Amino acid sequence: MDTDEIKPGMKGYGRTVFSGKQIESFDIEVLGVLKNWEAKNDMILIKMSGGPLEKTGIIAGMSGSPVYIDDKLIGAVSHGWSYSKDAIAGVTPIRAMIDVMEMDSRNRKNLAAKANRIWSTSLNTQDTNVIAKLESYGLLHKYEFHENTDTREPFIFNLVPIQTPLIVSGFSNESLTKISPLFGRVGRFSLHSSNGEYGSPEDLVNFMPGSSIAVEIIRGDLSVSAVGTLTYRDGNDILAFGHPIIQIGNTDMPMATAEVHTILASQASSTKMASPGKIIGRITQDRRSAIAGKIGEYTQMLPCQVKIQGSLNIEYNFEVVQDRILTPILVQMAIENAILTTEKTVGEKSMMIKLDIGIADREEPISIENKYFDSGPSWLPIYNVIEPITILLNNEFKTAKIESINLVADISEHNNVAFIDNIKVSNKWVSPGEEVLMNISVKQYARSYASIPLTIKIPDDVAPGSSIQVIVCDAMNSKMLEMTSAPGSFLPSSFEQLIHHLENEEHNSNIIVKLRLNKKGLTYMGEDFPSLPNSFLSIMSLSNQSGVTPLRSEIVKRIPTEWFINGKQTINLFVDNKS
HEC per residue, 282-335: EEEEECCCCEEEEECCCCCCEEEEEEEECCCEEEEEEEECCCCCHHHHHHHHHH
Split at pLDDT 50, 70, 90, the class of 472 is very high
Measured distance CA(107)–CA(349) in Å, rounded: 48
Both 500 and 521 in one domain: the answer is yes
- Mean pLDDT, rounded, for 421-433: 90
CA distance 449 to 421: 9
- CA–CA–CA angle 489, 493, 498 (5° rounding): 75
Q: Are residues 278 and 306 in the same domain?
A: no
- How many C-beta atoms surround the C-beta of residue 156 within 10 A? 13
pLDDT given at position 337: 81
Residue span of the structural domain in which 393 resides = 302-412
Q: Is the per-residue pLDDT at 108 higher than 60?
A: no
Is the pLDDT reported for residue 376 higher than 60?
yes
Lowest mean pLDDT among 7-21, 132-146, 412-426: 132-146
Q: Note whether 518 and 529 are within 8 A (CB).
A: no
Domain boundary among 283, 299, 315: 299
Contact present, 197 and 33 (Cβ < 8 Å): no
Structure confidence at residue 94 (pLDDT)? 93
pLDDT reading at 63 higher than 80: yes
According to the model, what pLDDT value does residue 112 have?
37
Confidence of residue 380 (pLDDT cuts 50, 70, 90): low
Higher pLDDT: 484 or 281? It is 281
- The tens digit of pLDDT for each residue in 262-302 reads 888 776 678 888 888 889 999 999 988 999 999 988 888 99
CA separation, residue 415 to residues 17, 103, 372, 506 (Å): 54, 55, 10, 21
Q: Where are the beta strands (DSSP E) in 192-301?
A: 212-220, 223-234, 237-240, 249-264, 270-286, 291-295
Residue whose C-alpha is closest to residue 292's, from 339, 244, 324, 333: 244
Q: What is the pLDDT of residue 146?
A: 42
| 138 and 277 together in one domain | yes
Cα angle: 99, vertex 100, 104; to 5 degrees:
95
Please give the tally of structural domains in the chain.
Answer: 3
Residue 149 clears pLDDT 50, i.e. is over it: no
Per-residue pLDDT for 64 more than 70? yes
Q: Is the pLDDT of residue 47 over 50?
A: yes
Is pLDDT of 404 > 70? yes
Judge contact between 542 and 398, C-beta under 8 A: no
Pair (381, 421) in one structural domain:
no
Residue 477 has pLDDT above 60, yes or no: yes
286 lies in the same domain as 307:
no
Interatomic CA distance for residues 134 and 140, integer angstroms: 6
> In this structure, are 259 and 366 located in the same domain?
no
d(CA 64, CA 86): 19
Strands 564-566 and 417-425: parallel
Final residue belonging to a domain, choices 388, 412, 436: 412
Beta-sheet strands, E only, within 480-547:
510-524, 527-529
One-letter amino acid at 372 equals: Y
Confidence of residue 569 (pLDDT cuts 50, 70, 90): very high
CA distance 315 to 307: 4
Q: 525: helix, coil or strand?
A: coil
Bigger pLDDT: 446 vs 488: 446
pLDDT, residue 419, reads 94
The per-residue pLDDT for 110 is 42
Whether 278 and 171 map to the same domain: the answer is yes
User: Are residues 222 and 315 in contact, defined by beta-carbon separation less than 8 angstroms?
Assistant: no
For 168-182, 310-324, 474-488, 500-514, which range has the lowest pLDDT when averaged over its residues?
A: 168-182
Angstrom distance (rounded) from CA 257 to CA 197 = 11
pLDDT at 362 > cutoff 70: yes
**Are residues 44 and 173 both part of a single domain?**
yes
**Which residue, of 379, 412, 445, is where some domain finishes?**
412
Question: Which pLDDT belongs to residue 358?
Answer: 93
The reply to whether 437 and 464 lie within a common domain is: yes
In the predicted model, what is the mean pLDDT of residues 299-314?
A: 88
Q: Are residues 274 and 365 in the same domain?
A: no
Over residues 490-507, the mean pLDDT reads 86
Q: What backbone torsions phi and psi does residue 463 show, to the nearest 5 degrees?
A: -80, 135
Lowest mean pLDDT, pick from 107-121, 380-394, 507-521: 107-121
306 & 282 share domain: no
Mean pLDDT of the chain: 81
pLDDT at 280: 92
Residues 417-431, mean pLDDT to the nearest whole number: 91
In b/e form, how buried is each residue of 440-455, taking b as 16+ CB within 10 angstroms? bbbbbeeeeeeebebe
Cα 324 to Cα 332: distance, rounded to the nearest angstrom: 13
Q: Is the pLDDT of residue 513 over 90?
A: yes
Mean pLDDT across 528-553: 67
Closest CA to 402 of 335, 355, 354, 357: 357
Sheet order of strands, 564-566 included: 449-457, 435-444, 417-425, 564-566
Distance (Å, rounded) from C-alpha 261 to C-alpha 29? Answer: 28
The single-letter DSSP state of residue 113 is: P
pLDDT beyond 70 at 542: no
Residues 192 and 226 reside in one and the same domain: yes
Position 83 scores a pLDDT of 64
544-557: burial string, b at 16+ Cβ within 10 Å, e else: eeeebbebbbbbeb
Give CA separation, 108 vs 95, 104, 541, in Å. 18, 6, 44
Q: Write the burial class of residue 388 (CB in 10 Å: 0-12 exposed, 13-18 middle, 19+ buried).
A: buried
Q: Does residue 334 contact residue 306 with C-beta atoms inside 8 Å?
A: yes
Share of the chain above pLDDT 70, in %: 75
What are the pLDDT digits (tens) for 235-272? Answer: 999 999 998 888 888 889 999 999 998 888 776 678 88
- Is 341's pLDDT higher than 80? no
**Cα atoms found within 13 Å of the Cα of residue 513, Cβ hemisphere only:** 21
pLDDT-based confidence at 201, cuts 50/70/90?
low
pLDDT for the residue numbered 344: 64
Q: What is the pLDDT of residue 372?
A: 85
C-alpha–C-alpha distance, residues 279 and 406, integer Å: 25
In terms of phi and psi (left: phi > 0; alpha: psi -120 to 50; beta: otherwise), the region of 371 is beta
The per-residue pLDDT for 153 is 47
Confidence category of residue 137, pLDDT binned at 50, 70, 90: low
